[in-house]
Structure 1
Amino acid sequence: MNIIDPHLHFFDLVKGDYAWLKDNPPNWPNIEKIRQNHLPDALCSSAQFKLSACVHVEAGFDNHEPRRELDWLAEVLPTLPYKAVAYAPIDAEKAVFCDKLDALSYASLIAIRDITEGSDATRLLSKNVADNIALLHQRGCHFEAQFELVNLPIVQRLFDIYSTLPNATLVINHAGFMERSQSWQSAVDTLASIKNCVIKFSGHEMLNSPMCPKEQLAVLLDSFGEDRVMLASNHPVCLILRSFEQQWQHYFEVVSATAPSAWRKLSFDNAQRVYRFTY
């Protein structure tokens, strides 16, 4: 089966900084499986799932000079079609953010991610964020938001920004970290009302009490529809629970039990459209 993976990471711990992983690693199970080099060749040998293209999401290769990661990707991904989500501080002054984007001028660049989990989410309330998201849209890129959906002021802030940019794309990473015990339905409804908001079904391995995958997928499909949900591996972080191939097999089983006719859209078509892959 051909797939496009819209959220994975490759690591080269010698060439990149990765201070978050090398110096102060998260307290994740199987951290030693994650804290090593991860290169594309290892994912291209799957017997069941053919990686037709991928979206590489920044992984702290060098947050002082994010272009170094784009340079490195061009070396290690010469044949596999890919797009890059790079790092830039979304709350920077507009002139500074503009300079940061200028430094990232690369054909592979499709989006910016600036992780705003936990208390960091308050940075999305900065007055600069709206201008910077508008600038991204103007340049043919989009913003990938990574925060918890239970943070309703942030959800409302994003709704307000994108209400003024009806044609701009917003991508929500890791399904907004929805946990079983939380109240997230109003956040899901608000974000789904943004016409071009797309959400990734991924990141469950990082949660303390993840929802039943079938139930979560049903919620997302009910709110966003089959055209705005994307399956993503989060490789190599998925190694907390599963290998890359096991992750996609797990997704195939979840979709088969929930919405079997949607598999092609969730595993390929939606990512192809959002990240503008052409074949």
Structure 2
Amino acid sequence: MGLLVYPSIEVAHKIINYTAMKIDSHQHFWKYDPIKDSWIDDDMSRIKNDFLPTDVQPLLAQNGIDGCVAVQADQSESETHFLLQLASQHNFIKGVVGWVDFRAENIEERLTYFSQFKSLKGFRHIIQSELEDDFLLGKDFCNGISLLIKFGYTYDILIHPRHLRYAVEFVKRFPDQKFVINHIAKPFIKDQLMEGWLQDITLFKNFRNVSCKIAGLVTEADWNLWQHQDFKSYISIVLDVFGIDRVMFGSDWPVCLLAASYGQVCEVLEKNTSFLNIEEKSNLWGDNCAEFYQLVDTRKV
């Protein structure tokens, strides 16, 4: 499974027919900098390059994807501005998930400032890199999160399985805030381990304000030896927990290139959700994402 190949024409055509607008809910862009991007270690040399909209646009077209949501990869407001600039230059970037310091005393002022940018849909913090497992429950952080609903912003939850129990308490505090868990909380797919992750992810079943991105799976598997069936149980569990109206496709490009091509990522999800009907596939491949982030179909305006 190490070869980077595109899916069959038949698979691509299936994806094209699912929904009026097909959206990749999770992509990144960067101009590689060894200091700023120090999280990209030597094992990730494949992505020690610039990755910009012109690099991914042909891949979207080949796989029948109409647009994407660009998500922050650096903890800075300059990152947010970088993504907003890209969105202003490329129509297929339908929305941006940026970064702001939720613990800052002037957080409401910063959110007021960012509210002028219509392509900015929400924010994310890289919780998985914080030293405290209960970072989400910090007083100052939660104070910042409490202001998001005032501005109509979403929040992407980036965590590992050990953070899930804190994430449950976190979302309980904000029942009217729209949340989405990134990468199904990164279970240990390589070792086919579910204990802990399964029990905790199941707790989100009744939180209607919480969605889940089926993204980032291939990089949690064996990068060189994964097979389509490795993901079957994980995807089935997520569909059962969140339901077909609270899940969305994401490629996690270009990070996915460590283990698979863009086309292979699409194929993994297609093969493991072949039992869904047309309406359900429309929800998964675009409609849920468009609704969650309030995206505009620019093909019609």
Tell me the SS of whatever aligns to 1:83.
strand
CA offset digits 1:38-90 (Å, max 9, x no partner)? 12223332464222121000122x7153443244324542x224100001233
Give the structure, 1 or 2, with the largest relative contact order (CA under 8 Å, sep 6 or more): 2
For residue 44 of structure 1, give the secondary structure of its aligned residue in structure 2. helix
Aligned residues of 2:165 and 2:200 also touching (Cα < 8 A): no
With 240-249 and 37-46 compared, the bigger mean Cα shift is at: 37-46
The equivalent position to 1:124 in structure 2, one of 132, 136, 147, is 136
**2:22 alignment partner in structure 1:** 3
Give the partner amino acid of 2:52: L
Show the counterpart of 1:135.
147
Q: CA, structure 1 residues 222+73, in 2 after alignment: closer, same or farther (shift >3 Å)? A: same
Within-5 A mapping of 1:163-202: 165=175, 167-179=176-188, 180-181=192-193, 182-202=195-215
**Is the CA contact (8 Å cut-off) linking 2:136 and 2:167 kept in structure 1?**
no
Q: 2:53 & 2:270 partners in 1: Cα distance?
A: 22
Q: For the Cα contact (< 8 Å) 2:94–2:296, is it kept in 1?
A: no
Moved over 4 A (4+): 208-211
Number of aligned residue pairs: 265
Report if aligned partners of 1:155, 1:187 keep a CA contact under 8 Å in 2.
no
Specify whether residues 57 and 81 from structure 1 end up closer, same or farther in structure 2 by C-alpha distance, changes over 3 A only: closer
What does 1:27-176 correspond to in 2, within 5 Å?
Answer: 27-28=42-43, 31-46=44-59, 48-60=62-74, 63=76, 65-74=78-87, 76-77=89-90, 79-90=91-102, 92-93=103-104, 95-105=105-115, 106-117=117-128, 119-162=131-174, 165=175, 167-176=176-185
Q: Among 40, 50, 53, which residue is 1:25 paired with?
A: 40
User: CA separation in 2, counterparts of 1:266 and 1:125?
Assistant: 30
User: Residue 272 of structure 1 corresponds to which residue in structure 2?
Assistant: 290
Mapped to 2, the partners of 1:50 and 1:11 lie a distance apart of 23
Give the aligned residue type for 2:35: A
| Unaligned 5+ runs, structure 2 | 1-15
Residues 48 and 71 of structure 1: CA distance in aligned 2, closer, same or farther (over 3 Å): closer
- Flag the 1:71–1:229 CA change in 2: closer, same or farther, 3 A: closer
Deviations 1:114-146 (A, max 9, x none): 011163443212112332222111101011111
| 2:207 matches 1:207 | no
CA gap 1:11/1:269 in 2 versus in 1, 3 angstroms: same
* Structure 1 residues 88 and 58, CA gap change in structure 2 (3 angstroms): same
* Aligned partner letter, 1:114: H
CA contact 1:10–1:40 (8 Å) conserved in 2: yes
Partner Cα separation in structure 2 for residue 142 and residue 24 of structure 1: 25
Secondary structure, aligned partner of 1:85: strand
Aligned-residue Cα RMSD (Å) equals: 2.5
Residue 177 of structure 1 aligns with an amino acid whose one-letter code is K
SS at 2:134's partner residue?
helix
- CA displacement, residues 154-209 of structure 1 (integer Å, 9 cap, x when unaligned): 133223313xx3x3211101101122323123322222221110001111233267
Find the partner of 2:253 among 199, 210, 235: 235
Cα deviation for residue 24 of structure 1 reads 5.2
CA contact (8 A) 1:4 1:51 kept: yes
Structure 1: segments with no counterpart, 5+ residues: none
Does the aligned pair in 1 maintain the 2:204–2:241 contact within 8 Å? no
Cα gap change, 1:50 to 1:44, in 2 (>3 Å): farther
